[in-house]
Amino acid sequence: MPAHVRPHYKAELAASTAARAKGNLRLEWHHLERAHILGQCWPMEHNAVHWRMLKFGIRIKNGREVIGQVPRLVFGGVKSFVGTVPIGNTGGADVPPLRAMELPTDLAVILDLPEQP
């Protein structure tokens, strides 16, 4: 992960942890999705977010999320490694794993990518 992206990725993970500590599940998930968008091009960071998403699904007892995260953990890092990730994808089981999505403006600036998928 490039040095200019890493602090933003870590900030999203920290914000997710802070939201969890306050019991704000919606905000916790929001920051996990943003961390996923930032980290999906790099295998270790990509899988680290999917691991957190899996733990989130287990904690809230969401079977769909748990089942959806398992293949993402298995294949997500590989797709990052070979450079075939769908840019902007938020990483949750509620979206197809291969669908590119609109990139939020602030994250597009950080990643130096166009906003459109």
Q: DSSP string covering 67-91, please?
A: HHHHHHHHHHHHHHHHT---TT---
Mean of pLDDT values over 80-105: 90
pTM listed for this prediction:
0.92
**Within-domain flag for 43:** yes
Q: Say which range, 16-20, 47-51, 84-88, has the weakest mean pLDDT.
A: 84-88
pLDDT of residue 117: 47
The residue among 53, 42, 45, 43 whose CA lies nearest residue 91 is 53
Average pLDDT taken over every residue of the chain: 93
**Within-domain flag for 55:** yes
**Within-domain flag for 59:** yes
Residue with tokens 């840019």: 87
Mean of pLDDT values over 43-49: 95
Structural domain of 41? 6-108
**Within-domain flag for 117:** no
Number of domains making up the chain = 1
pLDDT of residue 115: 54
**Residue 10 CB partners (closer than 8 Å, separation 6+):** none
Length of the chain: 117
